Amino acid sequence: MEGVFAGVRVVELAQWVFVPVAGALLADWGADVVRIERPEGDPYRGLATQGIGADRAGVNLSVALANRGKRSIALDLSTERGLAVLHELLAGADVFLTNLRPGALARLGLDAESLRERYPALVYARGHGFGVRGPDADQPGYDASAFWARGGLADALTPPGHDYPIHQRGAMGDRNAAMALAFGIAGALLRRSRTGEGAVVDVSLLATAIWTLSSDMLTALQAQALPRPTDRAASPNPLVGTYRTADGRHVQLVYLQGDRYWPDLCRALGRADLADDPRFADMAARRAHAAECVAELDAEFGRRTFAECAALLSTLDAPWAPVQSVHDLLDDPQVLANGYIGEVRDEGLEPYRLPAVPVQFDEQPPLLRRAPELGEHTEQILLELGHDWEAISALREAGAIP
């Protein structure tokens, strides 16, 4: 299938994770994403973390995930000739994608106002930490600072009694914000197809955190106390919770309509008496006697193995799930059937797997392609722009390209 963004040219001037991942999502679905890297490369190429970066032999999976399917040109934008090449690319581009800070963009003449005036049909998309206005607009922001810490997630998700906020998982904010930025770009391209006008698209990590915590935000907006991780026995609905099995596994019940599912669960557990127990007769009763209800369910799940609990719950047309580790997901039949983890195959490389973009078209996951080496397509792209080999040599002598 031809990608839905086939024919769209994206010029990406970005580094690290957030904005490059947005470019990778567009590339997954057919956009020609030309990645501008400085001659020494994106510092993310050298980041060693979690055993998946530069400290591990073979493919740098972090870089591969953020940059798959793109082309790379190495340009020194501090040189007049390098900046001129960037403008040649922008002249034929549909989207300019960046996460450079406002001050840096202004110094290069790449601020939104300048580029929109020069290229009126351009979609100018930028990702940032804290938004483009306010006292911290030019402050650097990573997902651990702008999303996790300042955005409220560290506080909201740290259980009571911890001396320090818990750490986030890698790049959670970056990849969520990247989805929002790709969505914004798609919307801007749709509007341009109708009006011919470009747009400025903005997504910040701080705004993404607020959206992620929308339920808590609604509580705060009503000046109410925020929900916190609590004792399971104090649950307002014992049928929404996690229960441990005899072999140490866990199952998650999500019976939001407790009165609908409670009788069937009791029968499946062989405890029809619980369905008739006035303490548990309805949602209000179960809430008033939550500790007793949780204790009864703890005992029932606790005397069965995980396999027995899974078989029992699978007989009910009710929402539940096993609590799985990330390693479990690698072989989850539902993950495999839907292609949620793709494989990159390229000549000369051992195949490797990466998470796929969550969006599918026509029930098909995208074909994943490898990430480019630093400056791998520099000469190819310059030739496409009309430079001959003599001109390319001149650019190299001028220090515009390595």
Q: State phi, psi for 241 to the nearest 5 degrees.
A: 175, 175
Per-residue pLDDT of 106-131, as tens digits, reads 999 999 999 999 999 999 999 999 99
42 with 373: CB under 8 angstroms?
no
State the DSSP string of 236-294: S-TTEEEEE-TTS-EEEEE-SSHHHHHHHHHHHTT-HHHHH-GGGSSHHHHHHTHHHHH
Active-site residue, selected from the candidate residues 32, 76, 143, 174: 174
Per-residue pLDDT of 325-336, as tens digits, reads 999 999 999 999
Reported in sequence order, the residue ranges of 129-267 that DSSP labels E, i.e. its strands, are 199-204, 240-244, 250-254
Q: Given this model, what pLDDT does residue 52 score?
A: 60
Q: Is 364 helix (H, G, I), strand (E, B) or coil?
A: strand
Please give the Cα distance from 362 to 358 (Å, whole number). Answer: 13
Where do we find the tokens 């740098």? 60
Please give the Cα distance from 354 to 249 (Å, whole number). Answer: 27
Q: Is the dihedral of CA 345, 348, 350, 355 positive or negative?
A: negative
Per-residue pLDDT of 54-71, as tens digits, reads 555 578 888 999 999 999
CB atoms within 10 A of CB 363: 7
Six-digit token pair at 306?
């995980």
Please give the Cα distance from 10 to 246 (Å, whole number). Answer: 53
Q: Given this model, what pLDDT does residue 33 score?
A: 98
Largest CA distance in the chain: 88
Q: Given this model, what pLDDT does residue 43 score?
A: 87
Q: Given this model, what pLDDT does residue 350 score?
A: 85
Is 163 a catalytic site residue?
no
Q: Is the dihedral of CA 240, 244, 246, 249 positive or negative?
A: positive
- Give the residues of the chain that fall short of pLDDT 50: none
355 with 341: CB under 8 angstroms?
yes
Per-residue pLDDT of 146-193, as tens digits, reads 999 999 999 999 988 889 999 999 899 999 999 999 999 999 999 999
Q: Given this model, what pLDDT does residue 59 score?
A: 82
Report pTM. Answer: 0.92
Choose among 83, 204, 97: nearest CA to 140: 204
